[in-house]
């Protein structure tokens, strides 16, 4: 994560909208979609964790049913 944060600005300029595959402090590659990046990560690292992240202006993920607690909601 730290490696991503340190390099994000440069990567954004060069590869906006693409997906990076990072392991530790190494940029493994840049891909057009998440599926390809994950396939390459799986090929190299099996079921170990690795980072696949899209290069864009990051926003918080908003899932209304979770954020608003609607899954637990019942009529009073």
Partner 1 sequence: MPILHSQFQAEGKTPDGKIIQLPAQVGLAVRGPLVQVTVSLADQIASELIKQGKAIPPPVQGLALIDTGAGSTCIDEEAAQKLQLPVVNVVNMASASHASAKANVYPAKFQITGLPMNFNAPMSIGAPHAVQGLIALIGRDVLQHCTLIYNAHLGQISLCI
Q: Which stretch binds partner 1 (CB under 8 A): 10-18, 24-32, 51-59?
A: 51-59
Q: How many residues bind partner 1 (CB under 8 A)?
A: 30
Q: What is the DSSP letter of 55?
A: -
Instruction: Name the token pair of 55.
Output: 């290069």
Helix (H) or strand (E) run with residue 54 in it? strand 51-54
Q: Which stretch binds partner 1 (CB under 8 A): 7-15, 24-32, 48-56?
A: 48-56
Q: Is 45 in the site for partner 1 (CB under 8 A)?
A: yes
Of 14-33, binders to partner 1 (CB under 8 A) are: none
CA angle 46–50–52, rounded 5-degree value:
120
Tokens 């099996």 belong to which residue?
A: 46
Q: Under the rule (CB under 8 A), what is the footprint of partner 1?
A: 1, 34-35, 38-39, 41-43, 45-53, 58, 60-69, 71-72
């Amino acid at each position: 994560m730290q490696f991503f944060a340190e390099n994000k600005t440069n990567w954004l300029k060069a590869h906006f909208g693409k997906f990076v595959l990072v392991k530790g402090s190494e940029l493994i590659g840049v891909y057009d979609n998440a599926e390809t990046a994950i396939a390459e990560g799986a090929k190299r690292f099996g079921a170990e964790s690795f980072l696949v992240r899209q290069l864009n202006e990051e926003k918080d993920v908003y899932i209304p049913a979770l954020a608003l607690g609607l899954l637990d909601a019942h009529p009073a």
